[in-house]
Amino acid sequence: MTHEEHHAAKTLGIGKAIAVLTSGGDAQGMNAAVRAVVRVGIFTGARVFFVHEGYQGLVDGGDHIKEATWESVSMMLQLGGTVIGSARCKDFREREGRLRAAYNLVKRGITNLCVIGGDGSLTGADTFRSEWSDLLSDLQKAGKITDEEATKSSYLNIVGLVGSIDNDFCGTDMTIGTDSALHRIMEIVDAITTTAQSHQRTFVLEVMGRHCGYLALVTSLSCGADWVFIPECPPDDDWEEHLCRRLSETRTRGSRLNIIIVAEGAIDKNGKPITSEDIKNLVVKRLGYDTRVTVLGHVQRGGTPSAFDRILGSRMGVEAVMALLEGTPDTPACVVSLSGNQAVRLPLMECVQVTKDVTKAMDEKKFDEALKLRGRFMNNWEVYKLLAHVRPPVSKSGSHTVAVMNVGAPAAGMNAAVRSTVRIGLIQGNRVLVVHDGFEGLAKGQIEEAGWSYVGGWTGQGGSKLGTKRTLPKKSFEQISANITKFNIQGLVIIGGFEAYTGGLELMEGRKQFDELCIPFVVIPATVSNNVPGSDFSVGADTALNTICTTCDRIKQSAAGTKRRVFIIETMGGYCGYLATMAGLAAGADAAYIFEEPFTIRDLQANVEHLVQKMKTTVKRGLVLRNEKCNENYTTDFIFNLYSEEGKGIFDSRKNVLGHMQQGGSPTPFDRNFATKMGAKAMNWMSGKIKESYRNGRIFANTPDSGCVLGMRKRALVFQPVAELKDQTDFEHRIPKEQWWLKLRPILKILAKYEIDLDTSDHAHLEHITRKRSGEAAV
């Protein structure tokens, strides 16, 4: 990238004006997006305006359209809802209203509009854009605007960001607010589970989603519900029988509760609504179970945005500004969205069209088509159906024996991965063994067979129920081989962190000496550090990130009363700066020190100076994150002492080491869902590999591809041979040599008001919606 291009980002917005509005139903994370649009807009030299109360403010003009400053979006990141207000607007639906809106924009010289809202709001924006030149000529004829003003505002650029808790917009993997809504739902499900167990009750929970069952579906995957009702997949005609049989089966297996999740828009095959009251009455009448209904309602829209939504909102906001400022009269209005973990731009109307196609397919009762159009949704549905509706076969004839274990430090979500691995294994008719205490337990023979109910209720539990150790297998190959033979283990699923990966490499090496080690194995990355080569995400990192985030929010709030305070917070992660960087983005840190981006005393000095300048504004606190191993000499104490000395008389400093709280806690919805899908995918692969490796009545797997890491790469879940990942690993520091999230570091600095070069080389180009091919990975 040339030097000129670098400076281009800083001057891209000079002479331009951007207006940002939030419209339709609110969603947590909208504020993060507004904050990013304002700050990146100002960074590029543009003027940015808030439009209060959505389209209504655009129509009413006056004080509703106010210029934003850098400080005006401070402390906004952790607030739910939308600070600039949102309203359903009738006026904008009429041409008369749109004419007034156009007048208000032209008078302020605003030709760029960033709309954050659901599909209705975005469709409205597109109509506005297509009418723009007609509206201007009407205003000219009426003498309301001058010819010069009309020429200056000859075209309108529009970029949409999807903010909707339903995740009902096609073309985007996740809409802003969905993850936070899942957090609210899971908090409630976890709370209800405890009371249901005390009284042996059945609970029917109704969640939002009039036309889209995403929240209901992911909730049932994440809490292991007995049944889910969603609009896209009406149940079979005899569903009443099936449901009652299913509930009583769960009870006979020893469970003390049943949970049924219903989307508010649930229907049967004839399009007749299935309400939570209907289900309750059915269960009471047929089974006589004590049944309660809980309707969650607007709780789901409330509360603090999750770390995921803050990062999503911030990344989308940055991308939206770039898309607006690079726009020409010929670029179509686009939506900025996330696919896997990459930002993409999609033509607005294509997305709206597919979203409408879903509604149409559902109205015509073509439910299979509706499911396909939803894209990633399909994979969730497939896994859910397997885990909830397939009965494990009774006989184990022709079955294989697969062992599951945890290795490394505990991470939230490990239990969810074990649960789905065990259950998918049983559904396939296999014998599943669980190994306690990692490779040490494999050597000592701490191994037992797991049945269906062994892993009941595990998804919501933090830590590792099987027990986990960092011990590597090499020094006990003889005992391990003996136990593989003794228990007839034919495949290994290893769930864990960097040790799980290095342990896998050792098993590969050991195959030369020990034939017993020639069995297929797969590593599912699970560690808060997110440092396993071959995967962009690991199970447990999202939970740790949310813990850090919540703590930073509280710490920042504690300074609200005292003036001018800087907090230095140490995060975990070994040498991997993922947690420090992502938490920095999500909590609005002024700096995040990490090992991967070396820093000198001059950088520390610049950061202190930057905070001194910041304290002169209306924002009177600072937040600095430091990864535990970012530098052996510039320790947390050193940085704290430096800031204390240099900040004398200007600000005082405090330090916090977060420690092991980052490994604990109940797993977040993302980690539960990710772990559940990884477990299912790993077990499906395992069955295939065992069949492939069958030689003369025994398993013999000696190829590199029979020992893999299952990882999330950009947009897909892929199996990569551990041996091939060797070159991509920095073993001394236990991190992958290349890490995708380092590209997000410039955003962190810009949002903290550093005058740096925004490297836009990694930005999104306009793509088209692909009809999703089946088999594409989904998380």
Q: What is residue 293's DSSP assignment?
A: E
Give the span between the Cα atoms of 176 and 155, in whole angstroms.
28
Nearest residue to 249 (alpha-carbon basis) of 461, 452, 459, 460: 452
Q: What is residue 273's DSSP assignment?
A: B
- For residues 114 and 161, the answer to whether their CB atoms sit within 8 Å is yes
- For residues 86 and 27, the answer to whether their CB atoms sit within 8 Å is no
* Pair type for strands 447-449 and 291-295: unpaired
- For residues 586 and 309, the answer to whether their CB atoms sit within 8 Å is no
Nearest residue to 746 (alpha-carbon basis) of 629, 592, 628: 592
Instruction: State CA 413 to chain mean position distance.
Output: 14
Catalytic annotation present for 759? no
Q: Return the axis-axis angle of helices 214-223 and 669-692, rounded to nearest 10°.
A: 70
Give the span between the Cα atoms of 177 and 165, in whole angstroms.
5
Beta bridge partners of 345: 336, 766
Residue 51 dihedral angles phi and psi, to the nearest 5° = -110, 115
**What one-character-per-residue DSSP string does 496-550 give?**
ESHHHHHHHHHHHHHTTT-GGG-S-EEEEEB-TT---TT-S--BTHHHHHHHHHH
Could you say which of 60, 119, 166, 437 is catalytic? 166
Helix (H) or strand (E) holding 291: strand 291-295
89 in helix, strand or coil? coil
- For residues 246 and 213, the answer to whether their CB atoms sit within 8 Å is no
CA within 13 Å, CB half, 176: 38
Q: Is 509 left (phi over 0), alpha (psi -120 to 50) or beta?
A: alpha
Beta bridge partners of 433: 403, 449
* Helices marked H in 570-654: 578-587, 601-614, 636-646
Q: Which residues are catalytic?
A: 166
